[in-house]
């Protein structure tokens, strides 16, 4: 069953997707948005906003940011269509994973959504304060 992408704001709607959610992230001089899929973990993440986190490089293909508490991983199923630009949650560690290069599914990885405008902001190397909030229209 394909995931449904939410729309523009965190509001209840009468659309088949249920809630509409987009998150705006900013760190250093970088700003980007991600559209969330219709899943329990994505809705739980949106309910935590706004958040002040720390984003840092992990391996050579992703940036990560630890959440203040773990999200649900219920309803998650393995996926095989991994793509650069995926926003995921790694349940065992409790962190967001922003993929800016190829990756492979591993147990405990929950796909939350997709970056809206590409990966360029994630190529800024280093560790920075990260702000996450509901994206405006």
What pLDDT does 49 receive? 97
Report yes or no: 5 and 42 within 8 Å, Cβ to Cβ. no
pLDDT (tens digit per residue) in 52-78: 999 999 999 999 999 999 999 876 788
- Residue 77 lies inside a defined structural domain of this protein: yes
Task: Please give the pLDDT value at position 2.
Answer: 35
Per-residue confidence (pLDDT) for residue 8, from 0 to 100: 34
pLDDT recorded at residue 7: 37
pTM of the model: 0.84
pLDDT of residue 63: 98
Domain assignment of residue 1, yes or no: no
Has residue 6 been placed in a domain? no
Which domain range does residue 31 map to? 11-134
How many domains does the chain fold into? 1
18 belongs to a structural domain = yes
**Domain membership flag for residue 5:** no
* Low-confidence residues in the chain, pLDDT < 50: 1-19
DSSP string, 29-53: TEEEEEEEBSSHHHHHHHHT-SEEE
pLDDT of residue 13: 32
Instruction: Give a yes or no: residue 80 inside a domain.
Output: yes
- Rounded to whole angstroms, the Cα distance separating 89 from 66 reads 9
65: cis peptide before it, omega within 30°? no
Q: What's the CATH code of the domain at 86? A: 2.40.100.20
């Amino acid at each position: 069953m394909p995931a449904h992408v939410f729309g523009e704001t965190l509001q209840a709607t009468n659309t088949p997707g249920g809630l509409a959610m987009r998150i705006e992230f900013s760190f250093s001089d970088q700003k980007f948005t991600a559209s969330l899929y219709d899943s329990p973990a994505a809705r739980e993440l949106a309910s935590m906003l706004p958040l002040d986190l720390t984003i840092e490089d992990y391996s050579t293909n992703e940036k990560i940011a630890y959440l203040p508490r773990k999200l649900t991983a219920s309803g998650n199923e393995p996926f095989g269509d991994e793509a650069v630009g995926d926003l995921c949650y790694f349940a065992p560690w409790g962190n967001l994973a922003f993929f800016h290069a190829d990756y492979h599914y591993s147990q405990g990885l929950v796909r939350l959504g997709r970056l809206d405008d590409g990966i360029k902001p994630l190529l800024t190397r280093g560790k920075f304060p990260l702000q996450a909030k509901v994206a405006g229209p």
